[in-house]
Structure 1
Amino acid sequence: MKAKTETKTIKDLVDLHKAQMLKANAEYQRGIVWNSTQKRKLIDSVLRGYPLPRIYLHYVSTSIAGMTSQGLEVIDGQQRINALSDFAQGAFKLFDPVKDATIAKFPSFIREQPCPWAGCNFEGLSDELKTRFLETTIPVAIIEAKGANEVRDLFVRLQGGVPLSAQERRDALPGNFTDFILRVGGKPELARYPGHEFFVRSLAMKPGQDRGKTRQLAAQIAVLFFNRREKGAGNYCDINSAAIDDFYYQNLDFDVGSERATRLIAILDKLAQLIQAGKHAKLRGHDAIHLVLLADALWDDYARNWEERLPGALDKFLTAIAEGNLTKKDPVPSEYWSQYAQWTRVNSDRGDMIGLRHQFYQEKMVVNLGPLQLKDPVRVYGELERSILFYRQEKRCVVCDGSMLWPDVEIHHVEEYSKGGQTSLANGAAVHRKCHPKSKAQTKAVADKLNSVQRAAS
């Protein structure tokens, strides 16, 4: 095999492609797979002066019946060549970084720069931009081989590198949220990113060896945590790859000193102190997620005596999960399987599945923690009880039976507080703010209704 390195202009490649002298070998190439966003961003990169990677071409000379045909087959670079050719022939318009921000997802520093090609196809470019595009050079390796097998072997070797994981790609994104996750999730090859002890010690994860899994979990926790802080504890968002990508792009200007960021770090600090590696069964990603959300619900409203009981409460829950897993094939499996463990295996990163798991998790953990003491022992329910009752009642108001949204939820004392009614789950009912009983007659009507339901259920 011989290889010659040279440069070709985009005009050279476009002309060769248009003349059918530059094409892919369909026997081993995958066809055109880039979408319009990828094509538009490639052209945008060219016009911004970003260098493009080397293209590998196979020189082919075929003689038949005394005539010779010469051409080039694409070994590596098919998607780029096709995008360049399509744009040059007017196939699509480029992104406007501001108007198309939702789709293009350019970082803020790009949106702030002048973009004279915004919304243009090739014909819409100025003469100067047309020239800049067509005269841009790309490094090219021209390969001459003894046979097709050598070319295929080169193709396999070029494609044989380990592709970046989704999180490794996110690590390269600009913006403050990227830096926040690197600091929390860790990238130990860089001294400034050792990773938070909650992940490194409590969960015994290895961010330097797991190709981004620790940072992905940190990102999932952060996305879910920040979404709930913004929209309320009754909200559980998706934390799949697409949802995480969106959050990164939407938070390029993330404030690492904000209340929500410092709160999350404080909670991770506390959990790292309380949950010691080796003293529990190995914690998995979903265990970490629910621990953080539980601590967040306990953080403001309750005296900190829950902290010393948390490790024991977690052990009880993990034991029950392990025992529940043994019953999954039983005619009537344990609730720890049917209402929690099975939801960690199917669509576990979907918001509705996370909500189902957490509803069960916090109810059981509250029992395991024992009596919780409100910091201010008045008639107000804390966030944890509010959340439990909200889901226990399937998000429906006990008064009007209508659907409730989290911001409208209040907790009513079934037995009046003024008559000794306790601020407890057993004596609470979730209601719309507008439906909250005000008079003795209304309070009695709610109590009678609940007693009637309980008698019917028994």
Structure 2
Amino acid sequence: MADHGLKFEIESKTVAEFRTLDKSGELILQPEYQRKAVWPERAKVSLMETILLGYPIPEIYLAYETSPEGEQTASVVDGQQRLTSLLEFLNNAFTLVGLEDERLREKFEGKLFKELPDDVRREFFQYRFPIRRLSNLADEFVRAVFARVNRVNMVLTEQELRNALLPGPFNDFLKDCAAHQISTKSGIFSGERRSRGGDLEFYAEVFGTCIFGLSNKKTELSERYDKISADFEDYQSRSIEFLELLTTLSEIVKWVGRTRWSNIVDMFTLLHVSWGLRNELGNASPNQKMQIQDLLDQFQRTVSVMKRDSENGEAAGVLESLADMVDMPVEKVKKIVKDYTSGIRNSSDLGSRRVRSQQLALVLSANLKGCLSD
């Protein structure tokens, strides 16, 4: 059994003590490795109901750190969702809606914390949480505890575990990608996906694909992530190129309404194919970029129409327009679009990814050759 001199003291804290810690700035609710608060309101209300009933709650892990000057902070290793919800309720951020206990529902349904009777609020403040105290541990051990506790509890996504266990330059790069204007313009990530690290995982997978080639997401993402994270200096220059590509595409693509490029599957393919053509895209003139913009817009429209109904009159029109742009026979373009559309099914499968990338590359390369030679 490994001995790192770890100290895990068991104690308890009242709701009032947590409020005091938070007000003094000593409570760090969201350390860098923690996920964002994602509990739905029904879960928050259920926790408040548990406290009102005086029922027990699973222990909270706090990592205490004391400075040479005697200043102390307590970082939440496990229990962030519970404590965030608790403090929100104390600040009257939500009401008690959907209480399950009949007695409590009759008395407190729809009430804010400040609207509860004085004796109830006083008792609420005296409720004790069981605490597992971690004292002055090295950051790596705190992260390891965080990841292991949450892995056992099965409450974190794989990316949230990576964020905890693999901080550093690669993680910072992924955050830069997620914060890039292309993420906002495309509207590709829902609030829930962002809150669970799905945006970071997406860019990690795309970047890994650009470096190592297409793969099946389930089999190689973690291995690639570990490799890049461990040797990020080797990939520094390409990370800069990748961010530059995001800027180029954010300016070239027509982000009007929600297009196919706002879907994870299609954006993945666009980024992968564009990586192979990044020099041509980056060196294109303003006029040439307009042509590329029109092509990408026409391509995504054609895919959407063909996906709905490949035999209607609208499909014939969009196919002809796309064929003119790339100077190919209509039948050839029709096959390209059909093959791309077939690759949307089983979207993370290696074969499907390969088909989508091959077909988009055919169209984009043909257009680039034409407009760059003008």
| TM-score, normalising length: structure 2 | 0.48
Structure holding more helix per residue: 2
RCO (CA 8 Å, sep 6+): is it higher in 1 or 2? 2
| TM-score, normalising length: structure 1 | 0.40
